[in-house]
Structure 1
Amino acid sequence: MPTKNRTANFCSWGFWIQLITFMLINPVLAKGQGIRTLREVETAEIKLRRLGQTESKVDLWIDLGTYYLNLPGELKADLARAMQLREQAFALAGKIEYPKGIARSMVLKGSIIRESGDRILGAKIYEQAIAYASKMNLKDQLAAAYSAMGTLFGNEGADLEKKITYNKKSLALYRQAGNKLEEGNSLKNLGDYYNIQGQPAYAIKLMDTSLAVYKAIGFKELQGVYNNMCITNISLGNFSEALKYGLLAEKTADQLADTSLQRSSINNHLGLTYYYLRNDQKALDYWLKAKNIAERYKDPGYMQTIIANVATIYVRMKRFEEGIAELKELIKKYPPTDTQMKLRIPYILFNTYYDIEQYGKAEPYFKTLIKFHHDLPKDDPNQIYLYRSIIRKLIHEKQFLAAEGYLKEHEKQSIQQKNLLALSQLHRLWFDVDSALNKPWSAVAHYKTYKRLTDSIWNNEKSKQISGLEIEYQSEKKDKDIALLHQKNQLQQVRIGNEERVRYFFIGGLVIAALFVGLVYNRYRLKKRSNLILEQKQGEINTQNELLRKILGEKEWLLREIHHRVKNNLQIVISLLNTQSAYLDNEDALVAIRNSQNRMHAMSLIHQKLYQSDNLAEIDMNWYIKELVGYMIECFGTEKKIQFILDTEAIKLDVAQAVPLGLVLNEAISNAIKYAFPSGRKGNVKITFQTIESRTCRLSIADDGIGLPVGFDAGDTESLGMSLMTGLTDQLNGKIEMWNDNGLTLQVSFVQHKELLLETANLGH
């Protein structure tokens, strides 16, 4: 490639990189009050539990909803939580007639819907919020609704105009309301938008005003506005000012321990400033820091811009393959979605391939740029970079006359944008074109203009300012480093002192350990002597224990045999009664014998269970009740007529309590079967046995039959069954109760024997 073209290509990189100024707009608005950390979320949730139905509760719900809305990543769970909080706020605000809360919750709903992807519905909600806030004369909330409406529009063309219009309305309302914080936010945002629109000079005025408003109210979080002033001064070619504000943004963020996504934007703009200052290594370092932060927050917009910047610096450092690799990663992982990035990637690739003289590979990207050139309006700020690419290709192909027309359009737009750097590079190219066309006087004039503009950008005074800023910033960092080293030195001295104390403690510990070992050895000898005596006594105890085990085994065998024989005797009595009933014709006598048989069987079941069980002391009443009910159903043949419902716990009783309780249950079931359901009536009997307190048990037999007669008194009855139940309950030291409740309910309450409870607890441990 000819030397002249080499020079032109080298100059082009400083020129087209200004496209970055339109790519990365800081999304983090300055905030005063609000919830931004997990600790603040926890505090707010505790406060919410204490608040009543008040306006403060509505505001706190909305603040929490805004926090979840603004969490990075736009996760569905976060948006759902934000909407839940918003609905609570809206409902309470309506209930207590709190117009401000209603308006704020409407704006929040629109923002949640917008973030979920439904911009049309979001716009409708914002319009409702605007109408309501206007009707209620809520200036702050109306301003917030206008500002939110502006977020629906992009950063290009007519969309950008609408965004600016809504934010102007918002600014005017905040000023009327005297809301200085939001006035500062609105001024800063408008400065962003005018810079994107290609009016950096006006953007600087807005940001200066914003900074003055912030400082007047003592607002400390100024890193956002400093960051925006940095990028806007880059657009104007004021690199010393850009560096000043970029370093101020970094310093303020450090002081406030800001770890948000905003740090990525600050690092990106500082990298861009150093790019223009031709300090490639610092530019790369800052851009790599910005990339790491953007990756941590998984923000595709930031990643697109920063990867493109990294690719740019690699190309200027002549690390072409690394630059191309970065762009391929960008296309694969973060496909561009807006016009500026769709334009920027082919722009970088076209210029990269021209730098390495691979013109064939550059051709497809040039065709893409030409298409953008025809599709975009002539006054679009991006045209300045497209003109540059076209001029570069025409010079390479020696179409110098054709290049003149693009040079004029390029000049016109550079003057409109007050872009001194672009203008200086343009006149350098014009010098090349005029030289090729044999226009020496015109070429000299363009070269003089190029030198004059370059000198105005890179004069000695500005170089001194830049050096001074860096020295000042580095000095502050060194002072901090010295203070940190001093603290580390103090910590080291403390650590050394601690180590000396530990050493003394260790030596003292060794002495104590030696004394302890001596004592232990002495105790060991005494213990060994004691163990010999204990072993002899233990032998005697073991012999006695063995004898006791044999006696205990014999006792258990005898008890088991007793239970077995009692059960057999009861069965014999039942059989004798059954035989006797065969010789009786008297119905009352037969009924009495049958009742006696049932009572005998109730007692027999207990002794049968004890004989068969390993535990000779207690009965599982859950099993016993099921067995007894089954026997009664079979005995009376009531399975089709009466339905028994059992709800019993696995409570264990000893024989002294199990026998009387079983007899009570037998009498109650017999009475229910005989008298509760006359004339073939069907019904239900529910038997419940449970522990109601720590030691109190309760047996309940409830039927849905005819119940007790009116005026029935259990104390006056001469019924044997009732007398038995009363006497058996007294034997249990319990209480028997009866009442009508859609049938008869009989309830027996008593206290379980303490000895059995203690034994069960010991077995459990």
Structure 2
Amino acid sequence: MEVNKKSVSKKMPCIFTKSFVLSILLLMFHVRGSAQYYPAPMPVNPANESKLAISLKNSKPDKNRVAILLDLANIYSYRPVRKQADFNRAMDFANAATKLSARLRNDSLYNNAQLFTAEIFTLENNMKSAESILGLLNDTSKLKLLLNLSYKYWEREGDKKEEDWPKAIFFAEQAKKLSIQLHLPQYEILALSYMALVHYSKGSHTAEAELLEVLKKYNAIKYRKLQYVYHPLAVISYRAGKPDKADYYSIKTIESMQETGDTTVAGDFYYWRSVITGNNEDYQKSLDYALLAITHFKVHPGQISLADRADVLGMPVIALRKMKRYREALNYIRKTDQEYPLVSVDDKIDDVLMIGNIYRDMKAYDMAAKYFEIALNLNKKQNTINNGIYSNLGQLYVESGQYAKAKPILNKFFNIISTYKGPPIASSVISHLNYMAFLADSATGDYRSAIKHLSDYRGLEEFNLRQEQNKEVRRLEVQYGVKEKEDALKIKDQHITLLNQNYKLEQIKLKQSRMEKNIIIAAIVVLLIFTGLLYNQYRSKKRANQATVKDNEVIASQNVLINQKNRHLELLLREKEWLIKEVHHRVKNNLQTIISLLQSQAAYLENDALKAIQTSQNRIYTMSLIHQKLYRGEDVQQINMANYIPELIKHLKDSFDSSNKIIFNEKIDDIDLDASVAIPIALIINEAVTNSIKYAFPGEGAGEITVSLRNQDDLLRLELSDNGVGMDKNSINANPVSLGLQLIRGLTKEIRGEVSIKGSHGVKITILFKKQAIEYANILTEDLINPA
């Protein structure tokens, strides 16, 4: 069997152009395709990273810090190109969030932190560690982790992939049971969709029907995010060779995503839209969707990411090649290499293969061979063998008529696939390369090998043809079955029409014979109805009158009871007010008794002890005066400071002989204060004014003392000042401080105020505080947490 080399080379373009395109597409599209894990954590905008870092630095150890830590973990987990260093940093943030939420005893935050820790473990392919977190979670958080594990076990790559599928089913079933217990149908349906994906991977033909049932269930509960079901249906249809259905489901995916506004995995959706439109030979749309997918992958990865360099970044190159825009394709690769530098050997191999195929399309075979040889040399440095290199190089040599070079390359390819354990290679690809090998063997005179490859080629072509024929037969059977049913329905419709006509004739006869009888019966019925209505109206009025009498009696008795309760409540209220006033009266009397006792004791004391007794008397009088005001006033809880403070100042002035030379200025707004605030304020005024009288004007000196209490926005401002000799800073800041200053600061802290003391040109004490009462329990708690 002799073959002319020239005739072979002339025939080649028309023989294998279309099949080679299909081969390239199938090789390039050998990527994972499915629904994104959902409910996945919503991505945090990476532009917020610096802002979050500043917020973390300035945050307190509360639940807000936990949220910031988890947002930072989210950003590092979902980098556009995932690296182990990013996962490590994300895990640091997640662990910090877990510890803080445990310290805060916040179960909700703790569950969220543990759930995100498990998510990081699954992204690192550390499934055992992720499973260990299940025991730490409960309810909805545990349910979400079960769904996560089911999905991640299904999508895992590797030689032992089939061993992971039972685990995926197990966790999906557990999630389904827990969803039913918690009455969460949305998650129950999601578990069913994951089971369908596993069935599809195992080769089951029921996956599409299962997903359509999932779609039906989601519609029943009015769940809107249907893109997560339409997307796997699109991929399944595409791989099953159903371009129309793939196109339909792909469009529905994009529409649903846009309607719901959930663009979490928009990159995945747009990428597969690019694949499907490219397969339908709409290459401009394929290019547009590919670039749109890359834009989204730069922000947030999906199941596919920029790490899948040959698949994602290679899609625009394939579209540009098909539109013969070769220079644009080369420029795009160079621009991409600058933006995303080549790191791994596999990335470099994919890159030079893309460039080589562009030059092959341009018929620049020498340049194409140069790049394919570079890919071959790079592959020799690895332990694995890239079958794409040999198929591309063999294709090039055959197309360029270099059959002697093509033979060993193609033979190497067939030796590789004989022991190949990776993802299955499409039969159309193997069939096409068998034809290439047949041409190379024929041109070099190796007819025995040529016959073998031709036989394999024809066998695969016949197999593919049978597959297409079987599809067509099934399509015709469906159409024929539908036509038979339509014919049967037409016959049934004709019989039904005849029966209806006969039935109508019989009805007309019956109507004529019953007309008179019906008129008489109708008249009797109308008379009976009218009589019945009259009687019913009489009975209704009678019952309504009886019910009204009963209701009036009930209302009257209830009014009497309400009046009695109101009088009782008024008595209780007056009694309560009397008791409170009595308490204030007795407290005032007790304080007056203590003052009298101290005065009696003072008769036997001298010097410092006597002064201490006098000071204590003034402090007790200050409190006694407040209780006297509460006893005499109508309000038993609040003191009018405009009435109280002048009376207190008068008492202090009368208590010291030297006070006659001192002028007192009072600037008091009309302010009512709760007793819990009024007492500390009164004691502060007592201490400050007493100190000013005693120490500000030594000898026979005279001066002024000012007491001011004013409203200032939402606060009250108390100012106590004199124009005496003042105090130095050492005395103000001494440790320990004087008893008077210590009391002023302690009392200010009790009312949650802020105190400022200045000692130059006299003494000026300024206190800012809130008007409302402060509960002692709150103050004590604050002191324990933040001791002075």
TM-score bin (small chain): 0.3 to 0.5
